[in-house]
Amino acid sequence: MSNLTNFPYLNASEFSFAISSLCRLFHQVQSLSSSPRLAWTSVEIILDSGAPHLRITKPLHIRTLSSSTSSIDIEAEDEKPQQYSGQDKDDVTVSEEDDDLEALPKHNKDLDAMVIYDIILSSTYSVPVFYFAIKDIAYRYPPTMRVLYECIIPPRYVEQTEAVGVLGGVTVTDHPTANTPVYFLHPCKTVEVLRASTSSSSDGESDPLSYLLLWISTMGKSIGVDVPLALMLAMRKEKQESNQRT
């Protein structure tokens, strides 16, 4: 597809082309044995009752300890250590270490929580919009504002997302197709941010895939998702090869 007709806005056909191109590019890069491990686990197009949209899945990286873990640690520090001497001390130390290792829960990758980012075209604003939530089969991370700021929002973006700041505010709403509670990054600032991120001379040169990657890299950082470098490099290589053919 050629350049956008009305940057920084997208129409339905441009959005469809953009998400299809990104999905193809992701699987292309992921299949290369020489490619570094991508921060995204998967990229797929979702065909619900409404228009198709893009879904990016990535692991949830926990930054804070739970309240129960913190209280256990504090209680352990307050306990007075027992005194041992000689061989008895060595025997007890080894025994305690063995007990600790046996007590540690074995890691089950099936219990790893993931963050799901759905990218849907807004019919009102004519720009992509993020709807996102944590997928966790153990139901440890409900869609609350506390979970949002403790587990998803990078600390440096907290002030910008607590209110309608530079990048727009984050609220909890119903997913437009799944009807489940999710987080929603309001698109009221998207046009302004995209215009500020590009020079006026390059506006007309933006194709749908470049637009989508620019949008993710500028809007997504505030909610914990960014474009992997390998994808950016692959896109630039494709554009260079395309320009050489023409």
- Assigned domain for 78 exists: no
| Max CA separation in the chain (angstroms) | 81
pLDDT, residue 99, reads: 44
- Assigned domain for 77 exists: no
Backbone phi, psi, residue 55, to 5°: -125, 125
Q: How many domains does the chain have?
A: 1
- Assigned domain for 50 exists: yes
- Assigned domain for 53 exists: yes
- Assigned domain for 73 exists: no
Number of neighbours of residue 183 by Cβ within 10 angstroms: 25
Question: Consecutive 10-residue runs of the chain (246 residues): their mean pLDDT?
Answer: 88 97 96 81 89 95 52 33 44 40 47 94 96 95 94 88 67 93 93 84 72 95 94 92 78
Q: Which domain holds residue 233?
A: 12-62+109-238
Partners of 121 in the β-ladder: 128
- Assigned domain for 75 exists: no
Handedness of CA 37, 40, 42, 44 (dihedral sign): negative
pLDDT, residue 246, reads: 66
| Predicted TM-score (pTM) above 0.85 | no
pLDDT, residue 242, reads: 80
- Assigned domain for 55 exists: yes
pLDDT, residue 85, reads: 46
Q: Residue 116: which CATH number?
A: 3.30.1460.50
CA distance 114 to 40: 10
pLDDT, residue 165, reads: 55
Question: Are the CB atoms for 8 and 195 separated by under 8 Å?
Answer: yes
- Assigned domain for 52 exists: yes
